Chain A
């Protein structure tokens, strides 16, 4: 079956540090891959997406590249800000997955200190 594995948190960084959150996946079909962010007390926001191998999703300084050979979709940002403190979820949706169900990783909590 389909699954997503994320690095465990919490991750604590100083402002302007480089961020990497690892995400690997298992899928039987041709999944699209997503990163969602959840700020405290809020719902999930789509941060970026990639729909096929070698696609790079980017938004708000965050990037992730769909690597089919390593089944990975790692999230990166060159310089984090305090306002990036949130929980980040990697997710996939498979072409064969009727209903468009999202499969989520466990989430990684990021805390950025000034």
Chain B
């Protein structure tokens, strides 16, 4: 099973709303990621969690707040977003860990976010 499940598939939110994106994997992967993808562009890394601890934050604005409740779940909390934050948000997981960083990642189907 190489499935990463993201919910919801689509989300429309106002600039004053608070919402959360959810991601789940059951492959036993200890690294989980959030990427942002704009139309016709490659994904851009936002956050990396390794063994449930935040290891990389790619200078993401604080209106995006990640959370890793356990080794299978990853959330992205959204607050006071701007219209330019509208994008496809992708979750991924991998077996990457110390001494073994160069492994493939498995992606979810993404959440299509529209900020109005």
Could you list which residues of chain A lie within 8 angstroms of chain B, going by C-beta atoms? 29-32, 34, 36, 42-46, 49, 51, 87, 89, 92-102, 104-107, 109
Could you list which residues of chain B lie within 8 angstroms of chain A, going by C-beta atoms? 2, 4, 6, 31, 33, 40-43, 45, 48, 50, 55-56, 88, 90, 92, 94, 96-98, 100-110
* A99→B55 contact, CB < 8 A: yes
Bound state CA distance, A18 and B80, in angstroms? 48
Bound state CA distance, A106 and B41, in angstroms? 6
Residue of A whose beta carbon sits closest to that of B47: A99
Residue of B whose beta carbon sits closest to that of A104: B42
Q: What residues of B have a CB within 8 angstroms of the CB of A93 in the complex?
A: 96, 101-105
* B41→A100 contact, CB < 8 A: no
12 A/B residue pairs, CB under 8 Å, sorted by A: A30-B102, A32-B103, A32-B104, A43-B4, A46-B107, A93-B105, A95-B100, A95-B102, A99-B56, A99-B96, A105-B42, A107-B41
Of A32, A104, A109, the residue contacting B102 (CB under 8 A) is: A32
Q: What residues of B have a CB within 8 angstroms of the CB of A100 in the complex?
A: 31, 33, 48, 94, 96-97, 101-103, 105
Q: What residues of B have a CB within 8 angstroms of the CB of A89 in the complex?
A: 42
From known contacts A42-B109, A99-B56, infer whether A49 and B104 are also in contact, taking CB-CB under 8 Å.
yes
Chain A contact residues: over half helix, strand or loop, or mixed? loop
* B107→A101 contact, CB < 8 A: no
Q: What residues of A have a CB within 8 angstroms of the CB of B41 in the complex?
A: 106-107
Residue of B whose beta carbon sits closest to that of A4: B42
From known contacts A97-B101, A101-B48, infer whether A107 and B109 are also in contact, taking CB-CB under 8 Å.
no
* B50→A107 contact, CB < 8 A: no
B2 smallest CB distance to A (angstroms): 8
A40 smallest CB distance to B (angstroms): 11
Question: A98-B101, A107-B41 known; 17 other A-B pairs, CB under 8 Å?
Answer: A43-B6, A44-B92, A87-B40, A89-B42, A93-B102, A93-B104, A95-B101, A96-B101, A97-B101, A97-B102, A99-B50, A99-B56, A100-B101, A100-B103, A104-B42, A107-B40, A109-B40
